[in-house]
Amino acid sequence: MNAVAAGSVGEALGAATDALAAAGVETPRLDAELLLAEAAGLERARLTADPSAGVDAAAAREFGVMVRRRVRREPVAYILGRKGFRQLELAVDPRVLIPRPETELLVEVALDLRPRRVLDVGTGSGAIALAVADELAAAEVVATDTSLDALAVAQANRARLGLESRVRLAHGTVPADERFDLVLANLPYVSEAELAALEPEITRHEPYAALSSGPTGLEAIEQLLGELAVAGALPGAIALEVGEGQAATVGELVRRAGFERVETRRDLAAIERVVIGRL
């Protein structure tokens, strides 16, 4: 991007916005502002308040590198190396899925039920487990993942947030010989057929194993419910994030696993996003 060079903020943002829009980025201006603010070491509001302000050469070079990455449709969160989730700022990279706003519904379930022991299966960056520990002081939280790379990211986030004594990390899915009041899980639920239609930010950059677990997309959810049933230690409640149109099917799976009361919660787009089962 030769157009992104030392000059004014307005010029840098204009050139970057044009390049990102041409690459098909959905929010080119917003992304350009976030990246320039990071490169310049300034708050976004302060940066955009004076479009005529100069951008020094070092910041312009770093901005150019970031914009080129975004043109290749790398997510902004990976470029910045962080993503906000509820009250927390989490480090993220291509080893883990980027936390989404709809996943906050799982944390809200925990806040409503106020469990003593919580299991977060497929923790990834640690977003759910760390947010629950942060907002529910009395809860003991265990977080698991089958990916050692993901657990390394979660461990780093746990240490940086000072929650090492509150959240235990473990490799796998359901810890043996342990009982929980609530199980939370944002497992891969995208079907193989749906995967190809997703944005390049997802298909090119986010970890495949965190997106899809098989042809139907429900394989990981079925496996978790099976493990809980075989262990003979169903939690008092379970909350599962699901994809659009999956709530009814997952609700039936939850009933068959032994949870008698099933309900759903909708996200801000009115999609049935979380299936909750209770004994």
- Do residue 67 and residue 201 come from a single domain? no
91 lies in the same domain as 157: yes
78 falls within a domain: no
> Using 50, 70 and 90 to split pLDDT, how confident is the model at 2?
very low
Residue 209's nearest CA partner among 227, 190, 188 is 188
Q: Is the same domain home to 105 and 144?
A: yes
d(CA 104, CA 86): 7
Residue 109 zone, left/alpha/beta (φ > 0; ψ -120 to 50; rest): alpha
Whether residue 40 is found in the same domain as residue 63: yes
Mean pLDDT value across residues 220-241: 92
Q: How far apart are CA 82 and CA 27, in angstroms?
A: 18
Arithmetic mean of pLDDT, 127-151: 97
Residue 223 lies in a domain: yes
Find the domain containing 25 and state its range.
7-72
For the chain, how many structural domains are there in total?
2
Q: Quick check: 156 pLDDT over 90? A: yes
Average pLDDT score, the chain: 95
Residue 7 pLDDT level (bands cut at 50, 70, 90): confident
On the question of pLDDT at 71 being above 60, the answer is yes
Co-location of 41 and 145 in the same domain: no
- Of 72, 100, 128, the one marking the end of a domain is 72
Same domain, 64 and 159: no
Say yes or no to pLDDT of 95 above 70.
yes
Burial 169-180 (b: 16+ CB within 10 A, else e): beeebbbeeeeb
**Residues 153, 257 within the same domain:** yes
pLDDT digits (tens, 9 = 90+) for 31-42: 999 999 999 999
Residue 178 to residues 118, 123, 142, Cα–Cα distance (Å): 11, 18, 10
**81 belongs to a structural domain:** no
The reply to whether 177 and 42 lie within a common domain is: no
pLDDT at 84: 97
How far is 77 from 93, CA to CA, in rounded Å? 8
User: 0.85 exceeded by the pTM?
Assistant: yes
Tell me: do 269 and 133 sit in the same domain.
yes
Residue 233 has pLDDT above 80, yes or no: no
- The two structure tokens encoding residue 104: 């906050």
Same domain, 21 and 92: no
Last residue of a domain, one of 49, 72, 95: 72
User: Is position 1 within any domain?
Assistant: no
Last residue of a domain, one of 72, 103, 122: 72
Q: Could you tell me if residue 79 is inside a domain?
A: no
* Whether pLDDT at 261 is above 50: yes
pLDDT at 230 over 90: no
Would you say residue 1 has pLDDT above 60? Answer: no
User: What confidence tens digit (pLDDT) does each residue in 101-133 have?
Assistant: 999 999 999 999 999 999 999 999 999 999 999
| Banded pLDDT at 231 (limits 50, 70, 90) | confident
Q: Does residue 4 have a pLDDT over 50?
A: no
Residues 97, 38 share a domain: no
